[in-house]
């Protein structure tokens, strides 16, 4: 579905907006982790990745990375993300969430994740977005790490339900 590819030791995730190809996110882990875009267009703007699912669902998870987004969708957990990470939310995307009843933001365990989650919650509505942070885990720990560590879908769903907090709740900090 995502038309993933590989070129010259880079994994490629194509990015589309309204059915039109925009760019590739290029990723690799060896010899070191790197993420970049294929085209270096200075006018390239973040895209809401996987937004096509939003008219058909009433619960969604917003994650920081495209790989997290793909993984959650493969597990049957509808997810979207910005192609540019935690702090690149575009308030113009709010229109896609008007009929969504439950919104969860899964933040990586770092300041960028926390700031991005609060930015999205402020944009979509403080009483509409619940945030999950893995505060007890290592720095930068996120949804993908949960599954790499052997976590199950069922436990992940339970943690989202039981530990997510609104941005204004003290427990989030």
Question: pLDDT digit string (tens) for 59-111?
Answer: 999 999 999 999 999 999 999 999 988 788 999 999 999 999 999 999 999 99
Average pLDDT, the chain: 91
Q: In what order do the strands lie in the sheet with 79-82?
A: 48-49, 79-82, 59-63, 102-107, 129-133, 165-166
Handedness of CA 132, 105, 59, 100 (dihedral sign): positive
pLDDT of residue 55: 96
pLDDT of residue 145: 94
Q: Are 103 and 94 in contact (CB under 8 A)?
A: no
pLDDT of residue 42: 65
Widest distance between CA atoms in the chain: 47
Taking only the tens place, the pLDDT of each residue in 100-155 is 999 999 999 999 999 999 999 999 999 999 999 998 899 999 999 999 999 999 99
Closest CA to 38 of 57, 59, 12: 12
**Interatomic CA distance for residues 112 and 129, integer angstroms:** 17
Q: How remote is the C-alpha of 104 from its chain's centroid? A: 10
Closest CA to 49 of 35, 65, 60, 28: 65
Residue 121: which residues within 8 A CB-CB, separation 6 or more?
105, 128, 129, 131, 166, 167
């Amino acid at each position: 579905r995502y038309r993933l590819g590989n070129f010259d030791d880079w994994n490629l995730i194509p990015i589309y907006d309204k059915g039109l190809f925009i760019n590739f996110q290029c990723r690799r882990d060896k010899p070191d982790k790197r993420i970049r875009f294929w085209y270096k267009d200075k006018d390239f703007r973040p895209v809401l990745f996987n937004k096509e699912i939003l008219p058909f669902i009433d619960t969604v998870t917003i994650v920081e990375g495209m790989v997290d987004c793909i993984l959650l969708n493969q597990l049957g957990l509808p997810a979207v993300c910005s192609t540019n990470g935690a702090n690149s939310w575009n308030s113009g995307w709010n229109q896609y969430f008007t009929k969504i009843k439950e919104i969860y933001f899964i933040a990586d365990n770092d300041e960028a994740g926390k700031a991005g989650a609060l930015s999205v919650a402020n944009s979509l509505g403080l009483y509409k977005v619940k945030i999950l942070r893995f505060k007890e885990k290592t720095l930068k720990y996120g949804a993908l790490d949960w599954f790499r560590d052997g976590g199950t879908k069922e436990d992940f769903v339970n943690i989202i339900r039981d530990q997510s907090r609104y941005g204004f709740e003290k427990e989030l900090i």
